[in-house]
Amino acid sequence: MAATTYAVTAGVATITLNQPESRNALTPELVSGLLDALTAANADTDVRMVIVTNEGSTFCAGADLNGDSGDSAVALVSVMQAVMEAPKPVIGHINGHCMGGGVGLAAAFDISVVRDDAKFAFSEARLGVAPAVISVVCLPKMRKADASELFLRANRFSGSHAAKVGLVNHAVPANDLAATTQQIVTDVLAGGPQALIACKQLLADGSEVRSARFAEVAKLSRDLFASDEGREGVAAFKERRPARWNPAEK
């Protein structure tokens, strides 16, 4: 089964994250498939815009903890850059939960719609690491007070709260998700193709600064995953037990 699927209908390319058995974690196959699909959409003159969605109950679980977690976090940089630097609008149709790096992917879309009952979490601190890579896209969208609480507590919050703090644009009941995305598609397609490209260029201002920051946080993320604390946190997650620094373990 392909890690992602790709289809074009009436000028709209739909990319589906298609590894529900791994909760659409950022495996090498899923990252490669997503990047290839974005490249194909950008090169296709018949494609006006892109939708990214998912199979299964989780949109994206973030880093692939069954592989090299440091590599997975770094690979997310290329995915988020590809989304933000795409010349065509990229819409997130988020029909499931977002954890860790998945929150960063959701925040990277030009416009994002999520189920209001989806679960979100900046879960990195509980793994002994930090939301380093995704901070580059998430922090500009949030009040510092909201970011501080969500980063440090690392607790779960709803899609509705994700919209409230600015991480996504819209949180709607599951039954309204398709209609809300379709209305956005209709509105965007009413814009001129060159005008939409120009809008994306305006929104990409500061990309050089962002690229430099990505390089810094990618190294930080890799170092954290490779540390004793990071290895313990990932092991505890896999073994479904509290990490050794957690008082609940005592």
pLDDT score for 247:
85
Q: What is the mean pLDDT of each run of 10 residues along the chain (250 residues)?
A: 95 98 94 96 96 98 80 83 94 97 96 98 95 94 97 98 98 98 97 93 71 84 91 91 82
Task: Please report, for residues 193, 232, 234, the alpha-carbon distance to residue 240 in angstroms, rounded to integers and kept in the order given.
Answer: 49, 12, 10
Strand partners, 12: 9, 49
- What digits encode the pLDDT tens for the residues 121-161? 999 999 999 999 999 999 999 999 999 999 999 999 999 99
Residue 105: left if φ>0, alpha if ψ -120 to 50, beta else—which one? alpha
pLDDT score for 70:
66
pLDDT score for 15:
98
The pTM is what?
0.90
- What digits encode the pLDDT tens for the residues 68-94? 766 777 788 999 999 999 999 999 999
Question: Could you tell me where the DSSP H helices lie in 115-206?
Answer: 132-138, 144-153, 159-164, 177-189, 193-203
Q: How far is 62 from 40, CA to CA, in rounded Å?
A: 24
Q: How far is 53 from 218, CA to CA, in rounded Å?
A: 25
pLDDT score for 194:
93
pLDDT score for 208:
57
**CA angle 25–241–225, rounded 5-degree value:** 50
Q: How far is 152 from 19, CA to CA, in rounded Å?
A: 29
Q: Which residue's entry shows tokens 């296709």?
A: 44
Sign of CA dihedral 76, 81, 87, 93: positive
Q: How far is 153 from 124, CA to CA, in rounded Å?
A: 10
Q: Two tokens at 194? A: 């060159």
Strand partners, 8: 13
Which domains occur in the chain, in start order?
4-174 (3.90.226.10)
Sheet with 119-121: list strands edge to edge: 58-60, 97-99, 119-121, 157-158
Strand partners, 114: 94, 171
Q: How far is 102 from 160, CA to CA, in rounded Å?
A: 16
